[in-house]
Structure 1
Amino acid sequence: KRINGIDAWKEFSEHSVSFFNALENIVPGTLGNDDSIYGLPEELAREVQEECFFPDGLLCELRRYQEWGVKYALHQKRVLLGDEMGLGKTVQAIATMVSLKNTGASHFAVVCPASVVTNWCREIRKMSRLQVVKIHGAGRKEALNSWISAGGVAVTTFETTAHFNLPESFELSLLVVDEAHYIKNSEARRTMNVKKICERAERMLFMTGTALENKPEEMVALIHILRPDIALRIQHMLALTAAPQFREAVAPVYYRRKREDVLTELPELIESEEWCTLGQAEKDIYEQAVFGKNFAETRRVSWNAENIKDSCKAKRLMELIEEAESEKRKVIIFSFFLDTIRKVVQLLGDRCMNPINGSVSPQRRQEIIDDFDKAPAGAVLAAQIQSGGTGLNIQSASVIILCEPQLKPSIENQAISRAYRMGQTRNVLVYRLLCENSIDERIMDILKDKQEKFDAFADKSVAAAESIKMDDHTIGNIIAEEIERIKAEKDKSNEK
């Protein structure tokens, strides 16, 4: 079947994973990477290769290295997956659960920081047919009982594990612990609580993007929970973490791929939506802004918390920055709002460069970027998106965080292209901080709809791009719909 170039490119853009996988299967190494075992010892690799993976019910296609990670987790049963940021640890965990469900498993649990509970629930629903139960906050006891009787994936927080009272005979098919370095301290209460759940788990998948090779004691602490025998064996080898002998010793339990290991299977730009859940104080401020029909204040959802440390977006921001620093990446943070930039700078203190905004002269902006280029890994540059998003080259950064969705996709695209451009040597990770049950959802839906129509009917010119911005009528509708949604939510709550 012959198709024209535009349709061919559209097909490739939407299904690039299938194309890359087909190419690698037909001619291994044709894309430049012929390591088919991704750094595992040969004998273990052979066993992993023969492991069966049953993807029925998985709603996305895995990259070759991701399927290999799933087979590793299935074969080894108790593992620590340390893949670099952006390589898809979450989808590998979801695919592992899907495969196990297809062989009769029924109960799975994900323990993670509160800042990513919503994200986990969304990703599981988007990428699989698995049932999800959020066990967190009000109603957690009923949710726990529902999950115990019906099965599916329980998603909970480290703090909520203190209330995880499981029946005596209960067995857990797989326990996933995200950001596993949170339980590195054996004396901490949350570590003890998670360990109790581990005792009920047939399989365990711990995940962390933090590079543990530089923190061998933390690695051993986590491995000790998973495989005490291996922890004992490597205890005397901690000075040799970079040596082949050490890597071979931990290979049965610890697996980490870096971007260069799987370069051929990665897009250069990886975009993620990071969904956060508002706390009660944030919610009250948000609803006040909505009922006051203050659109600008409504858009600043979470960032207008009275204490920035209570902001769910700020908490997620800090976690992303810490992970980026552990991978020796630099970060750019963009926001439309000056007050948000001010709060980000206040939150980060010395690790943040002088911010770029409209009052900073072009010459001074370049000086700030020059300082940022020379700064050590982990440095952060905060910029107002209208000022830092155009005319500047910031290739030394490979992580971009957008504090809120913009009203014109062209503004976001220009900002992303500050780092994602010729001369960039690392894959660029873009994180959009978004709040569930807020204006963020409405703006994202409208922009996606407008972008699809634009892609289908308009020429890709700057003039056409301007046509997909939001007008006053659309903004008025968003506020009106939010008022109705909040009223309906309150009515429903009062009925209970």
Structure 2
Amino acid sequence: MLGNQDAVYGLPEDLAREVQDECFFPDGLLCDLRRYQEWGVKYILHQGKVLLGDEMGLGKTVQAIATMVSLKNTGATHFVVLCPASVIINWCREIQKFSKLRVIKVHGSGRNAALQEWIRSGGVAVTTYETTSYFDLPDSFRYTLLIVDEAHYIKNPEARRSMNTKRLSSHADRLLFMTGTALENKVEEMTNLIDILQPRIAREVKGMEMLSSAPQFREKVAPVYYRRKREDVLTELPELLENEEWCSLGFEERLEYEESVLSSGNNFNAVRRVSWNVNDLSKSSKATRMLEIIEEAKAEGRKVIIFSFYLDVIEKISELLGSQCTEPINGSVTPNRRQEIIDDFDNAPAGKVLISQIIAGGTGLNIQSASVVIFCEPQLKPSIENQAIARAYRMGQARNVLVYRLLCENTIDERITEMLAEKQAIFNAFADKSVAADNVEVDVKSLGNIIKEEIDRINRTRKNTGDER
């Protein structure tokens, strides 16, 4: 027997029995799955073409990676991940972190060569919606699994990216669409996605829009649409989840960053504003990712705190978000006014954003009404970040807290993050945690060395490409 309802995570019993008996082969997966995540992988493997709609923070990405690992262990060689450009670096890093799968990024100027390499050698091709126009496969070519992240991007069947995705999916034996957006209240969007996955079920639920919350509707879509919410897996969920969100600099961002490095002298602060120092935040990869996280948080009834060390970054974000955010908290805001801002934030609807300078708002405030925390840049001392997280992650917090660190690859962000991790590991080995918390930091000398390395790297790259300005 399967036991109580919790054990089947909301699936009809007959389907749950089949999912329970599905084989999962994790050899080569470099992390442990929670019980509900392994159950999700078995569901994906058993059903073949599905839409996974788990709430944000439940680990859809790692379930997708585990699915690919299991399929590889049974002979599969070729996989495709299709995602928004803002998360392509994250996908590449997560696959490398959690598995031994080979990753090939099919994006940018080298996309054609990368695609041919993937066709020849296999692995996971990670590409973007924009790149699907160039993702041409031989008519007879088949691959095992297409993973479509943020699948609500293709909700309109007439859109070019939807048609490109459908064309790409015609070569795949299996399909995994993923979205954290609840589709129960958007039945037409759900049906459009299901129509690509399992057209028979799409036909059966058409006309049932008014019954979308009824048990018979949920049972109809259970073979293709699976969503768990936090309360469904509460006993298995850690209270604090920390994520590194890696971004890739666009052309203008890179120019700004390189100039700030080369002209930094002793002004390290200009360099640390990587991605935020463009004049137009629509060209900031960090700002783009931040907006996506805020939108997802709003859809799930969450509120957000954003921390930055820099006042001008806070002001830019405030201008970008407009009425969606509070008045910023900085060092010039009086204690009484701070509390008024927090009270207003507590009473605001989901999706509201509180912005604060980390030094001003990172200590002494209680902000339990927020459950998503975003850091705009890595802090030089992790204890500062920990104190800021504790504003939301404390007694009285009703939800698990999701922390997102916005980072840019091939920049000072990467070296600071690496150095802090190295120092943390040393202190963890030789000192108790309370001592480590106060002593792990990137000091001025280390920061200077990092910037010298960056200057050398940038000059080397420019010399190799003939771009010495």
Q: One-letter code of the match for 2:123?
A: G
* CA distance, structure 1, for counterparts of residue 88 and residue 117 of structure 2: 18
CA separation in 1, counterparts of 2:224 and 2:432?
51
| Secondary structure, counterpart of 1:60 in structure 2 | coil
Q: Alpha-carbon deviations, 1:248-278, whole Å to 9, x = none?
A: 1110000000111111111100000000000
Task: Name 2:164's counterpart in structure 1.
Answer: 193
CA distance in 1, matches of 2:169, 2:347: 44
Q: Which amino acid in the other structure matches residue 431 of structure 1?
A: Y
Tell me the equivalent position of 2:44: 73
How do residues 256-275 of structure 1 correspond to structure 2 at under 5 angstroms? 256-275=227-246
SS at match of 1:236: coil
Q: Does 1:465 align with 2:434?
A: no
Residues 22 and 45, structure 2, Cα contact 8 Å, conserved in 1:
yes
Partner SS for 2:406:
strand
Match in the other structure for 2:35? 64
Is 1:432–2:440 an aligned residue pair? no
Q: How many angstroms does 1:391 deviate by?
A: 0.5
Q: Which residue of 2 aligns with 1:482?
A: 454
Deviation at 1:34, TM superposition (A): 6.9
Partner residue of 1:356 out of 301, 319, 329: 329
Shift of 1:105: 1.1
Shift of 1:488: 2.8
From 432, 438, 456, the equivalent of 2:429 is 456
Distance 2:410 2:399 in 1: 34
Contact 2:428 2:436 survives alignment (8 Å): no
Deviation at 1:158, TM superposition (A): 0.3
Amino acid at match of 2:25: F
1:153-195 residue CA offsets vs partner (Å, 9 max, x unmatched): 0000000001011111111210000000000011111111111
Name the counterpart of 2:313: 340
Q: Give the residue type in structure 2 aligned to 1:419.
A: A
Name which of 381, 396, 404 aligns with 1:423: 396
Q: Gaps (5+ residues) in structure 2?
A: none
Count of residue pairs brought into register by the alignment: 464
The equivalences for 1:386-425 within 5 A come to 386-425=359-398
203-212 or 481-490: bigger deviation: 481-490
Match of 2:64 in 1: 93
Q: Distance in 1 between matches of 2:65 and 2:462?
A: 34
Query: Quick one: distance in 1 between partners of 2:137 and 2:382?
Result: 47
Partner of 1:55: 26
Alignment match of 1:254 (pick from 222, 225, 229):
225
Q: Which amino acid aligns with 1:77?
A: G
Does the CA-based 8 Å contact 2:424-2:436 persist in structure 1? no
Q: For the aligned residues, what is the CA RMSD?
A: 1.5
Scaled by the length of structure 1, the TM-score of the pair is: 0.91
Structure 2 equivalent of residue 22 of structure 1: none
1:313 has 2:286 as partner: yes
AA aligned to 2:465 is S
Output the amino acid matched with 1:297.
A
The answer as to 2:182 corresponding to 1:182 is no
**Secondary structure of 2:440's aligned partner:** coil
CA drift of 1:494 comes to: 4.3
Query: C-alpha deviations, 1:383-442, integer Å up to 9, x for none?
Result: 111111111000000000111000111110000000000000100000000000000011
* Structure 1 counterpart of 2:347, one-letter code: K
How many angstroms apart in 2 are the aligned matches of 1:493 and 1:110? Answer: 30
**CA distance in 2 between partners of 1:192 and 1:175 (Å):** 15
1: CA distance, partners of 2:59 / 2:359: 31
Superposition deviation, residue 454 in structure 1: 2.5
Paired with 1:122 and 1:439, the residues of 2 have a C-alpha distance of 17
Deviations 1:322-357 (A, max 9, x none): 111110100111110111111111111111111111
The structural deviation recorded for 1:35 is 1.3
Q: Give the whole-Å Cα distance in 2 for the aligned partners of 1:361 and 1:452.
A: 39
Cα distance in 1 for residues equivalent to 2:187 and 2:139:
35
Question: 1:403 is matched by which residue type in structure 2?
Answer: C
1:106 is displaced (CA, Å) by 1.1
Q: Tell me if structure 1 keeps the 8 A contact 2:380–2:443.
A: no
Q: Which residue of 2 aligns with 1:23?
A: none
Q: Distance in 2 between matches of 1:101 and 1:450?
A: 36
Give the AA of the match of 2:65. I
Structure 1: runs of 5+ lacking an equivalent:
1-27
Give the drift of 1:197.
0.3
Match of 1:123 in 2: 94
What SS class does the counterpart of residue 242 from structure 1 fall into? coil
Distance 1:493 1:252 in 2: 52
Q: CA deviation at 1:247?
A: 0.9
Corresponding residue SS for 1:72: helix
CA change 1:243–1:476 in 2 (3 A) is same
Structure 2 length-normalised TM: 0.97
- Cα distance between partner residues in 1 of 2:302 and 2:221: 25
| Structure 2 Cα separation of the partners of residues 207 and 72 of structure 1 | 13
**Structure 2 contact 105–125 (Cα < 8 Å) conserved:** yes
Counterpart code for 1:273: E
Distance, in Å, in 2 between the alignment partners of 1:174 and 1:200 is 9
Distance 1:465 1:50 in 2: 46
Q: Kindly provide the amino acid, as one letter, of the partner of residue 126 in structure 2.
A: V
Q: 2:148, 2:177 within 8 Å by CA — same for their partners in 1?
A: yes
Gap change, CA 1:45 and 1:386, over 3 Å in 2: same
Asked if residue 240 in structure 1 is aligned to residue 231 in structure 2, the reply is: no
Distance 2:178 2:449 in 1: 42
